[in-house]
Amino acid sequence: MRRILLAILSVFWIFAVPNQACAETGYDLWLRYQPLDSGAKERVGQVVGGYFTAQTHRPTMEAAARELRTGLSAMLGYQIVQRHTVQADGGIVLGTGESPHIAPLGLPLASLGREGYLLRSVVIEGKQVTIIAGNTDVGVLYGVFAFLKRIQLGQPIDKLDIIDKPKLQLRVLNHWDNLDRHVERGYSGWSIWDWQKLPGYKDPRYTDYARANASIGINGVVLTNVNANAEVLKPEWLQKVKALAEVFRPYGIKVYLTARFSAPIEIGGMKTADPLDPGVAAWWKAKIDEIYGVIPDFGGFLVKANSEGQPGPNDYHRSHADGANMFADALKAHGGVVMWRAFVYAAENPEDRHKQAYTDFKPLDGKFRDNVLVQVKNGAIDFQPREPFHPLFGAMPRTPLMMEFQITKEYLGFATHLAYLGPMWEEVLEADTFRPAKGSTVAKVIETPVAPGAVTGMAGVANVGNDLNWSGSQFDQANWYAFGRFAWDPDASAHAIARDWAGLTWGNDPALVDPIVAMMMGSREAVVDYMTPLGLTHLMATGHHYGPGPWVADLARPEWNPVYYHKADANGIGFDRTKTGSDALSQYAPEVARLWGDPKKVPENLLLWFHHVPWDRKMQSGRTLWDELVVRYDAGVEAVAAMQARWDGLKDKVDARRWSEVRDFLAIQHEEAKWWRDASIAYFQSISKRPLPVGHAAPPHDLEHYKAINNRYAPGNG
Ligand code: BDP
């Protein structure tokens, strides 16, 4: 009897709590292909019938067909199969312009370029047919993903006339992954590259990773950390790299490696790595030829040189151009590129860190080979929650500049803080450099080739690891997704991207999408408020960067210390970057410098970035600066509480496992937002010596308490 009762109960349990029965983990990312409701099933079923391609036995076309089959079959609940003729009963036709079924249609494929796609509803012999076409197989693959996305989002597919193509050529993830699988600034487990089992075992996860990337147009992956290890260039490691390249190739993804500048010494047995030494150049040429012998479509190198202790050409009194060109010359014959990072600042240099990259690189404009891109972080310091755009954008008109964003949230709360980075990237991309003229946004600068056919690109420091959910949190997947979308179209809208992602990832119901998008769109500003409001920056704890450390003043290099950045004293707070200070503003176009140089005109969210202002200065709100600072810290904490309340309201609409994970992470975020707020207020109050505004509670502990917190084992520490 007891057994029968239990059986009845368990049946009841499964039906009563469906979310528990098939818990989603987040592994499927935005490619969940959930079953459609019956109305949509019928509508989509009428259009898709089956699919046909004349171009079989081609790896990329097969990947495209496989994705179409998998996606449609899952959403429709029955098997979609390949037809043997196009006219069988309408359906989908996949192919490039050479396909005998597509060529006669006279479609405007020429405008698609190499990677664009076309989705078009046509009638062939009285049958409704959907064409998914491109000039290359990869274009077709991108078209398949776009088509599947429309269905997932409930958008019509019966009268399609869509053309899309990427605005940037190189759309690259930078993995800061070490060969021992530790990920520098990684908050989602270990590196997904299981080097020890490669090349023998190719984890199927690599294929899912490639699918995810291809679905958002990412076409390159730098496998290794910018703080590079020369070992990866050894023959046995190249076999491992080759294995990954083979998995990625059908998805249109090239592999790249980071080149350690001193490799000729470390693994080549040479005495020097001087780029102008013919022996060194010959060593690299032979190494590069060897790599292409193993991986014929190798993408090239990403190089961090003379920055944070990495070796580089300056060690031999050579310029960054000398270093980059040495690689470029050897890569050119194979069609490879060098992505040379502008993230440089030197210990010996007393100049404002904000200015150093510009000072080093601006004079080199026009001196790089045409297969070099200078890769510039979005801001002049270092991926902080808010930075003005980097002054190099627009300042090197003869050099391809590649945007570098950080997807992993080193400075925005690691994995547990919900911070959608779309608005941050959009803010930078929309910023007007005024170079050469008004309207030259950062997006335009990176999109416009410096010469006909010149290379363009965007890089994102990946947040992918071997966590079940890939990115460390469900919502951090949105940042991976958004990066791909911005790399495809730097003029895209963060809001529209968030809507797409939310619909794909959580479910296509406005009652779900609207509140989730609202949470996402406000989330980055919340982080800015509780960590670094009003243009403050770089106030995190030492080394691991987890939590607040605005008091830190004892590190060897001045620009490693938070006190260097906020310069709080009895009179006020902020970094004077006008003429009376470091004059970093002079690196921007005069229009920008004038606006930001005027403390009355600069947006308040950048005030303390550019100005040292008195504690009692009147702000737009009518409050004093000190009061405003406190109000912002509290606003940040309250915004997290508001996200918690919103999320609680979605409990019945989201599968239980993912819902609980987000709830718990938001609770952690709330605690940590309070920690940032309390510690920062305790510290700054010890300097400003002003009372807290009415209604704003004193931190529960004294400053010493916050200073004593030690998180030495926080993840991701380089
Ligand atoms: C900093 C990171 C450090 C990286 C460096 C870089 O803390 O781990 O190596 O950027 O971009 O933000 O090279």
665: in domain: yes
- If one residue of 174, 182, 185 were mutated to test the ligand 1 pocket, choosing by the most ligand atoms within 8 A of its CB, it would be 185
Looking at residues 588-604, what average pLDDT do you find?
98
Question: What torsion, rounded to 10 degrees, do the Cα atoms 369, 370, 372, 377 define?
Answer: 120
Q: Tell me if 550 sits within 8 A of 683, measured CB to CB.
A: yes
CATH code of the domain containing 678: 3.90.1330.10
Residues 6+ apart with CB under 8 A from 449: 400, 455, 456
CB neighbour class for 437 (10 Å; exposed up to 12, middle 13-18, buried from 19) = exposed
Residues 6+ apart with CB under 8 A from 667: 644
**Cα 121 to the chain's mean position, in Å?**
34
Gap from CA of 465 to ligand 1 centroid (Å): 17
Distance CA 418, CA 666 (A): 7
* CA atoms within a 13 Å half-sphere pointing along the CA-CB vector of 74: 14
Gap from CA of 8 to ligand 1 centroid (Å): 57
Structural tokens at position 509: 């119901």
pLDDT for the residue 88: 54
Structural tokens at position 706: 């916050």
Looking at residues 674-695, what average pLDDT do you find?
98
Residue with CA nearest ligand 1 atom 1: 382
Residue with CA nearest ligand 1 atom 11: 343
Ligand 1 atom closest to 461 (CA):
11
Q: Tell me if 596 sits within 8 A of 610, measured CB to CB.
A: yes
Ligand 1: residues with CB < 6 A are 184-185, 226-227, 304, 308, 343, 382-383, 410, 718
Q: Tell me if 478 sits within 8 A of 191, measured CB to CB.
A: no
Closest CA relative to residue 640, chosen from 610, 613, 666, 617: 666
Q: In this structure, are 320 and 269 located in the same domain?
A: yes
Q: In this structure, are 374 and 396 located in the same domain?
A: yes
Q: At 346, is the pLDDT very low, low, confident or very high (cuts 50, 70, 90)?
A: confident
Q: At 84, is the pLDDT very low, low, confident or very high (cuts 50, 70, 90)?
A: confident
Check pLDDT > 70 for residue 238.
yes
Ligand 1 atom closest to 310 (CA):
13
Gap from CA of 544 to ligand 1 centroid (Å): 11
Q: In this structure, are 311 and 256 located in the same domain?
A: yes
Distance CA 577, CA 584 (A): 5
Ligand 1 atom closest to 411 (CA):
12
Ligand 1 atom closest to 545 (CA):
7
Q: At 15, is the pLDDT very low, low, confident or very high (cuts 50, 70, 90)?
A: very low
Give the chain's length: 718
Residue 540 belongs to what domain range? 529-575+612-707
Residue with CA nearest ligand 1 atom 8: 718
Residue with CA nearest ligand 1 atom 12: 382
| Dihedral pair phi/psi, residue 476, rounded to 5° | -70, -15
**Residue for token digits 């070992």?**
231
Residue with CA nearest ligand 1 atom 10: 382
CA 478 → CA 109, 412, 421, 495, 598, distances in Å? 31, 14, 8, 12, 36
- If one residue of 227, 377, 409 were mutated to test the ligand 1 pocket, choosing by the most ligand atoms within 8 A of its CB, it would be 227
* pLDDT per residue as tens digits for the range 142-183: 999 999 999 999 999 999 999 999 999 999 999 999 999 999
Task: Evaluate the CA torsion angle 266, 338, 443, 422 in order and state its sign.
Answer: negative
Looking at residues 243-250, what average pLDDT do you find?
98
CA 678 → CA 428, 552, 554, 646, distances in Å? 30, 16, 22, 24
Q: In this structure, are 387 and 278 located in the same domain?
A: yes
Query: Catalytic residue at 308?
Result: yes
Q: In this structure, are 387 and 294 located in the same domain?
A: yes
Weakest-pLDDT range from 54-68, 83-97, 419-433, 665-679 = 83-97
pLDDT for the residue 154: 97
* pLDDT per residue as tens digits for the range 187-204: 999 999 999 999 999 999
Conformational region of residue 670, where left means phi above 0, alpha means psi within -120 to 50, and beta covers everything else: alpha
- If one residue of 410, 414, 461, 544 were mutated to test the ligand 1 pocket, choosing by the most ligand atoms within 8 A of its CB, it would be 410
Ligand 1 atom closest to 383 (CA):
12
Q: In this structure, are 150 and 223 located in the same domain?
A: no
356: in domain: yes
Gap from CA of 330 to ligand 1 centroid (Å): 27
Q: In this structure, are 156 and 32 located in the same domain?
A: yes
Check pLDDT > 90 for residue 644.
yes
Distance CA 671, CA 530 (A): 11
Check pLDDT > 70 for residue 689.
yes
pLDDT for the residue 12: 40
522: in domain: no
Closest CA relative to residue 67, chosen from 144, 134, 143: 144
Q: Tell me if 91 sits within 8 A of 83, measured CB to CB.
A: yes
pTM: 0.96
Gap from CA of 164 to ligand 1 centroid (Å): 34
714: in domain: no
**In this prediction, what percent of the chain has a pLDDT beyond 70?**
96
**Residue for token digits 């939590």?**
547
CATH code of the domain containing 308: 3.20.20.80
Q: Which amino acid is at 67?
A: E
Q: Which amino acid is at 423?
A: P
Distance CA 496, CA 487 (A): 15
513: in domain: no
pLDDT for the residue 87: 58
**Residue for token digits 């089959």?**
69
- DSSP secondary structure letters along 509-528: -HHHHHHHHHHHHHHHHHHH
Check pLDDT > 60 for residue 1.
no
Catalytic member of 24, 137, 177, 382: 382
Last residue of a domain, one of 112, 141, 164: 164
Query: Catalytic residue at 231?
Result: no
340: in domain: yes
627: in domain: yes
Kindly report the average pLDDT of the chain as a whole number.
95
Structural tokens at position 474: 């469900």
Distance CA 142, CA 166 (A): 10
Q: Count of domains in the chain?
A: 3
Gap from CA of 703 to ligand 1 centroid (Å): 29
CA 356 → CA 91, 342, 359, distances in Å? 58, 9, 5
Q: Which amino acid is at 168?
A: L
Q: In this structure, are 533 and 462 located in the same domain?
A: no
Distance CA 408, CA 391 (A): 23
Q: At 20, is the pLDDT very low, low, confident or very high (cuts 50, 70, 90)?
A: very low
Q: At 89, is the pLDDT very low, low, confident or very high (cuts 50, 70, 90)?
A: low
Closest CA relative to residue 129, chosen from 162, 90, 83, 102: 90
**In this prediction, what percent of the chain has a pLDDT beyond 90?**
91
pLDDT for the residue 705: 98
Residue with CA nearest ligand 1 atom 9: 227
Check pLDDT > 60 for residue 421.
yes
Structural tokens at position 544: 């691991």
Ligand 1 atom closest to 225 (CA):
9
Check pLDDT > 80 for residue 17.
no
CATH code of the domain containing 82: 3.30.379.10
pLDDT for the residue 18: 38
Work out the widest C-alpha separation in the chain, in whole angstroms: 87
Gap from CA of 324 to ligand 1 centroid (Å): 20
603: in domain: no
Q: In this structure, are 227 and 194 located in the same domain?
A: yes
Conformational region of residue 618, where left means phi above 0, alpha means psi within -120 to 50, and beta covers everything else: beta
Gap from CA of 584 to ligand 1 centroid (Å): 22
pLDDT for the residue 90: 64
CA 243 → CA 200, 246, 257, 622, distances in Å? 8, 5, 14, 62
Last residue of a domain, one of 448, 478, 495: 495
Looking at residues 649-671, what average pLDDT do you find?
98
Q: At 50, is the pLDDT very low, low, confident or very high (cuts 50, 70, 90)?
A: confident
Ligand 1 atom closest to 184 (CA):
8
Q: In this structure, are 440 and 296 located in the same domain?
A: yes
Q: In this structure, are 146 and 33 located in the same domain?
A: yes
Catalytic member of 387, 410, 500, 559: 410
Last residue of a domain, one of 139, 164, 189: 164
Q: Tell me if 477 sits within 8 A of 29, measured CB to CB.
A: yes
Q: In this structure, are 127 and 81 located in the same domain?
A: yes
The SS3 of residue 410 is coil
Query: Catalytic residue at 236?
Result: no
Q: Tell me if 591 sits within 8 A of 625, measured CB to CB.
A: no
Structural tokens at position 45: 């079923």
Distance CA 395, CA 380 (A): 13
Gap from CA of 66 to ligand 1 centroid (Å): 39
Looking at residues 101-128, what average pLDDT do you find?
93
